Amino acid sequence: MASLFVEPSWFFGYDIVLELLFVIIAGLVSYYAWKIYKVTGERNLKLFSLAFLFIMLSYVIQSVMNFIILAKFDDDMTLLMNLRSVYFFNLFAIYAQAILFLIGLLLLAYIALKIFSLQTFVLLFILVFTSLFFSPYKTFMLYLLSTVLLAFIVYYYLNNYWNNRKASTLMVLIAMICLFVSNLSFIFATDEASYYVVGHILELTAYVLVLVNLLVIIRFGRQKLKNGKKTR
């Protein structure tokens, strides 16, 4: 599976730092979503937490892979990188990263379907990974599948916001739009370096928005509980 990106020389290294930030932020999102789930018992929050756990693990693998690539090439290397040239571990890591990331998005899409059926999730899993496995252009297919799933997720949160007009829903909607555009950018990053940078910046924006939204929900919940105790 080849991953071919055109990356501006000044950005090399910064992308690795950003991916480490993605690990931390996605991990915090998973943790805080789980905390809220334990209080509310809402199943969607449980799935949301698991989705970001898989997304976090995908970035862990991607970060390790990038460190290995960085160690293998000197500073004067061309930043048009063909990952077929690195060891089999890197090849395995690319597949693992793609699978974990897509599982995370599948869980988010599963929430949007509102059909809590294991058979439905298994069917989605088979369709998505069959498309990835048999495609000769796996990196392109990864981001194409991600973009399609995120388009569906964006539509779900857009409907949610249209119905309740809550600030928290709007923040998640904006975050998912950022993720959608970032994955769309990576599709074109094989030809234009600027898309690679834009994709990473939008990813960071999306994950920060989701984390801030969860922290606001937790703070509001604590304040509400505190006020409830005072009125007794």
Spatial neighbors of 162 by CB under 8 A, at least 6 apart, are none
| CA dihedral angle for residue 191, residue 197, residue 199, residue 200, rounded to 10 degrees | 140
C-alpha to C-alpha distance for 208 and 186, rounded to whole angstroms: 19
Residue 150's pLDDT is 95
Please give the residue range of the domain that contains residue 129.
4-230
202 neighbors 194 (Cβ within 8 angstroms)? no
Phi, psi at residue 74, to the nearest 5°?
Answer: -85, 175
Q: Tell me, what's the pLDDT at 5?
A: 55
The reported pLDDT for the residue numbered 79 is 44
| Dist CA 127 CA 34 (whole Å) | 28
One-letter amino acid for residue 134 of the chain: F
Q: For the whole model, what pTM was predicted?
A: 0.85
Give the chain's domain count. Answer: 1
Per-residue pLDDT at 165:
85
Residue 18, beta-bridge partner list: none
pLDDT averages per 10-residue partition of the chain, 232 residues = 55 82 95 93 93 95 76 50 53 82 93 82 88 82 91 93 90 95 86 82 95 89 62 55
pLDDT at residue number 91: 67
Nearest alpha carbon to residue 55 among 16, 121, 102: 102
Q: What is the CATH number of the domain that holds 85?
A: 1.20.1070
Which pLDDT score is estimated for 213? 92
